[in-house]
Structure 1
Amino acid sequence: MQAPRSNPSRKQLPASRWRLRRQAQSPSGLSAAQQRHFATLHDISTLLAGQHAIDALCRGFLRHVMQFAQAEGGTVRILDTQQDTVHMIVHEGISDAMVEEEHCMPNNDCLCGAAVAQGVIQIREFRPGDTEQRFRCQDEGFSAITVIPIIVREQVVGSFSLHFARPQKLGAQQHGWLETLAQSLGIAIENQRLIAREKECAVARERSLLAEGLHDSIAQSLNFISLQVQMLDDSVRRGELGEAAEVLPLMRMGVEQSYQDVRELLVNFRTRWQGSDLQEKLAEVLARFEQQTGITGALDVRGHGAPLAPEQQLQVLFIVQEALSNIRKHAQATHVLLRVDNGRDFALRVCDDGDGFEAGLRGNHAEVQIGLRIMQERAERLGAQLTVASTPGEGTTVSLALPEARRLAA
């Protein structure tokens, strides 16, 4: 028996329908809506992976999520644990009156606050004639709202809401995606807060170093000038003009010292790393030191190791500047050598031929002690070891040793 012939019309489909069938049968065959969803998810992931201010981060996130869920309005709110309130950080598609009324609300108030307090999704569809409980977004003309808590390490830090002009049925898969996106947003917010705290700590550390530098230089010089003014006043009262004439050069020297200290501090703390080579920067610092002090200097750089990371190079530069500052103020040196050995490990030495000092007497010189403490603190930031060797009449050597394990790649 002959098999029935197939219907030719079932084989000869239009080219466009053949393409749709192949896309549906292939793993990459996605509908237009699915492609939009995945494109939006990709955009959100890219946004959250970058560094942005928290309000800019939340604003971009909200716009993408509204597009993903086809919502007409939305908000992102952050929990203030100290005040137990929820603050509206960004908003889209809602009136100024609603923003004014709900920019700050008690925790657990309304649906957005409930999502934060309970840590669960809040879904509400507003029905006409439902007067049992009215919500502010209902008065705005929205027909439905979905509020997703933002959770980081099992702690609720806020929520985001999606407002719909028409009843919207989000499936279980979409709810799962929204919860995952909320967690990603929470992690991004937490990361930005950690970055901000790190910057605050860095600023505080720099202020501490600046304060110690001011005490080491300006305060000491001003105290010296104050004593000279008292001596000058006493000499003038007693009519001893000869004594007064001897005091004036000392006062002039104190003012000049303060001026030099201020200039040096401003130069040091304005230093920024802009991709320059460490050898080039050290040469600039040494040339400026020679010009200001008349002390000759030499730079000896050896080794072919990889460059340090910019933040480590900057700390090395600060240590060199502080070491040269101590030489200018205390060493009475005629020559300075900067020696860099950059191999697998990194080593730096700042040597002078000045007066030097006995190790046991170092603590008796407050200015020297403060300068060494500043260098020691910067070395600790690097993960390096700082040592000071000095012999009376034979100069001083400041050594910095950074092992390979603590080096950061540039």
Structure 2
Amino acid sequence: PGLSLTVDLPAFDSLVESDDAVAEEDRLFLPVPPGLGAPSADGREDAAVAAAMKGLRDRLARPLTRGRIRRFKADWLRRAGADAAVVGFLVGQSPGARAQMHYSRVARRTLVDWHRRHLVCGLGLSLPEWPEPDGVYGSRLRLPQPLLRAVFEEARREVRRHRLHGLGSFHQVAAAHNAFMVYTLMVLYLGSGHRPVSHPFEFRSDFDLEAGVLWISDKTGRGARGARLVPLPAAAVAQTRAWIAHLEKLRDRLRLTHPEMADGPVEAALAMEARRRGPFFLRLDPRGRAEPLRPSIQEAAVEPVLPAALNWTRHVLRSALLEDCDPAALDAFFGHGHIGEDPFVAGGGLPFADLFPVADRIETLMAALSAKPADSPL
């Protein structure tokens, strides 16, 4: 006997051939203690639960409700160290209230293990031995590591294909620049967990490359509380340095033919002073202009290499890090802290040093995916 759960998450077009050995993400089965049967279609259990809670009413200072039972389980799981996505899946929270659930593919064995811990350690109940379930539950975006490794390798090949061995025409310079921009964005999105927004990694001054940290403001609706500081993996720092060197080469090259662009948007991208700085990333269009890097422009630029949702890096990161990183640090890194509930928000007490293990784990993942620094094609 047990409970069968589902979660309403968006579907994505599959980028890999179906594999019958991979379990569907749509359903989760949880075992229940002996003596409790599975819920029946006629809802008799609802009446039994209501009667049981009514019978306890006179013995409790506050009435027992389903909501309080659910919140107790959620609080117990978080205090025991469960990730917010695990908690959300096990207590039936809406993904609209817990963004972590959108991005996380969680092994069913992990979810069943936390469910068992709550019943045994939290409530003192017993459970029979249960076969370890296969497959994953949660995010529908499936991007296996071999596929992502091939994607990064192909993106680097695209940069090499556009390498210039002379001055080149403006069209050639723009194509080389845009290919390098795509690769650099992919590396930095993966290295930082940045949301795909207009003008990502907005200014050069948002980076402190000596300290290896990045200031991110990718949730503008929250104002200052939507910003965060994260440590960067070494590969992301190296790629940022390569991007700066590339912009310097681009500026020098364009001064020969397009001085207004060289001394305008490209120089502004390199500037550190607030009064002179402009967007750190820019795309060159065929008409010789710098385009604002809106999400639609980014998606069109990345699609030939990886036709997936633009926030695919957040899905990959959270799913890969969920079982290896401290949940509070992971939420802080991704900007998922909830005011009044979690650390690293207003009044929170999570030390910044706790984020460095997350960056170290991302560095390992980047190496596995071949997301390594590349030099400018100019």
TM-score bin, normalised by smaller chain = under 0.3
Task: Report which of the two has the higher share of helix.
Answer: 1
Query: Taking structure 2 as the reference length, what is the TM-score of the superposition?
Result: 0.24
Bigger radius of gyration: 1
Query: Taking structure 1 as the reference length, what is the TM-score of the superposition?
Result: 0.23
Q: Which has the higher contact order (CA 8 A, sep 6+)?
A: 2
Task: Report which of the two has the higher share of strand.
Answer: 1
